Amino acid sequence: IQNKRISYEEKKEKIFHPIGKKLIDITLKKKTNLIVSADLIDTKKILKLVSLIGDRICGLKLHVDIINDFSYSFINYLKKISIEKKFLLLEDRKLCDVSTTNCLQLHYGIHKISSWADIVTAHVLAGSMSIQNLNLPSNMGLITISEMSSYGGLYDDNYIRKALNISLKNPKVIGTVAQRKVDDRLLLFTPGIHFYEKKNNLGNRYIHPVQAFEKNGSDFIIVGKAIFQSENPKITAEEYRNAGWKAYENVL
Ligand code: 5BU
């Protein structure tokens, strides 16, 4: 009973941003809370991965600044597939500057994130104002980072509490990344997911989807290497989708 959670349907009533509601709708329709992190440096590899896993995911997370051959034809094509296959595009930009600079980084430069991304990530280290006045399109949401998955992070309980408060007060924020339960009015995203690994030697920490849902009260699992480096990403993505969905159902 201790681990009980509210359903996605109930959660949808508490989330006011349209992109948060849309993400939940996709999750319910496709029965998947899996977001795949396509940390690949070439567009062909990303598109190949998407062709294999598109049906299994509710979101595709990108780091567009690592792509060697980034282009608008790539992003337009990806956007088209995301609409056809029904998943959202998340740019894990981790904005972390003052509002003016965050705003410039969102709208300008080579990647023009706000012209295609459904969701972008942001730290709130620079304070609540840093994620205000970003001129986000009405159908684009923010995910704040309150506590990362890495070990040895500098986030203490006080920082995390304040980051969660800032997140709750900003209507553009649909949810957050944290390694603990958060208020039901925020969607909780959990990177650092792996079936077997606990730690990698590069500082990331991993938990099983069951732990993400039971202990942390996660809503969405984010899986990178475990899927895109596997021998059969299609089958592996289905395994993570299934594990994430069962883990959700088990805590209902
Ligand atoms: P992995 O291959 O499953 O370790 O990839 C995890 C992805 O999630 C990768 O793109 C990271 O940049 C991202 N990430 C993370 O690992 N931990 C965090 O706390 C946040 C993002 Br926020």
Q: What is the pLDDT along the chain (252 residues), one digit of tens a residue?
A: 566 899 999 999 999 999 999 999 999 999 999 999 999 999 999 999 999 999 999 999 999 999 999 999 999 999 999 999 999 999 999 999 999 999 999 999 999 999 999 999 999 999 999 999 999 999 999 999 999 999 999 999 999 999 999 999 999 999 999 999 999 999 999 999 999 988 888 889 999 999 999 999 999 999 999 999 999 999 999 999 999 999 999 999
Ligand 1 mean position, distance from CA 4 (Å): 26
Report pLDDT for 33. 99
Report pLDDT for 2. 60
Mutate to test the pocket of ligand 1, among 35, 36, 37 (most ligand atoms within 8 A of CB): 37
Instruction: Locate the ligand 1 atom nearest the alpha carbon of residue 63 and give its number.
Output: 10
Report pLDDT for 201. 83
pTM of the shown model: 0.98
Pairing between β-strand 59-62 and β-strand 34-37 as defined by DSSP bridges: parallel
What is d(CA 240, CA 117) in angstroms, rounded to the nearest whole number?
Answer: 24
Q: Which two tokens stand for residue 9?
A: 């349907």
What is d(CA 240, CA 218) in angstroms, rounded to the nearest whole number?
Answer: 14
Report pLDDT for 200. 82
Taking the CA of residue 83 as centre, how many other CA atoms within 13 Å lie in the half-sphere pointing to its CB? 7
